[in-house]
Amino acid sequence: MELNFSKVERKGPITIVTLSRPEVYNALHTDAHFELNKVFDDFSADPEQWIAIVTGSGDKAFCAGNDLKWQAAGGKRGWDKGGFAGLTARFDCDKPIIAAVNGVAMGGGFEIALACDLIIASENATFALPEPRVGLAALAGGLHRLPRQIGLKRAMGMILTARHVSAKEGLELGFVNEVVPQGEALTAALRWAEMITKNSPMSIRASKQAIQKGLGVSLEQAIEEQREYPAVKAMVASQDYIEGPKAFAEKRPPKWVGK
């Protein structure tokens, strides 16, 4: 597939997706959403790719959200089944996705980051859900993910005021995992991804799926049902499930195959 609004690079089992509309701070429009949906479909379906990192082109912006100028000029809004950037409604991907936030993450851009499993932010990163300032609302997941991730009152404080939050405050609030110097967000995200690759990808997928499904039910139900989750069953039936204990007993690093 020809890519016009994004770039894809693979480093071993790690896929790096770069939002590439720097002339508009990587704001996204309909065509970009559909392109990114296909990019993340391909990542999800590729057994050789275990982890994805999403970042923005340039050093000023991760993603400025919805391209309002394009919309104001008559551009039609819309996206594929995966949601904004192909991510915000992607509930069936059990592979880890890391946001390397290298600048502005506004509106839909912040919603992309919130849909990821980890957020690594450069010191110049800024987060906000400013939709109310332009007569809109953060309906691509922000209104629901932010309260779940940092608590109701803290989320209300951000959402109702539409205020901008620094990377440092994001770390304090709990939605950012690490803050690094400007220009180092992608490098740090790769460091996190490489740490994850030391673990069995089958175990990682089972863990992510169990967490996601478990958060939607009671603790008792989650514990009762977790062994029936597809990724957990796949882990138990995998070669990695045998290799891990065997490598431990033989005092050697495991050789994960992801199946």
**E strands in 60-169:** 61-63, 97-101, 104-106, 118-122, 126-128, 165-166
Of the residues 35, 48, 111, 178, only one is catalytic, namely: 111
Task: Using alpha carbons, select from 94, 126, 130 the residue that is nearest to residue 113.
Answer: 126
Annotated active-site residue 172? The verdict is: no
Angle, CA of 202, 207 and 210, to the nearest 5°: 120
Of the residues 35, 48, 123, 131, only one is catalytic, namely: 131
Q: If you ran DSSP here, which 8-state letter would residue 60 be given?
A: S
Annotated active-site residue 123? The verdict is: no
Beta carbons within 8 Å of 110's beta carbon, 6+ residues apart: 65, 127, 128, 129, 138, 142
**E strands in the chain:** 6-11, 14-19, 51-56, 61-63, 97-101, 104-106, 118-122, 126-128, 165-166, 178-180
Q: By CB neighbour count within 10 A (0-12 exposed, 13-18 middle, 19+ buried), where does 179 fall? A: buried
CB 40 within 8 A of CB 87: yes
Catalytic site positions: 111, 131
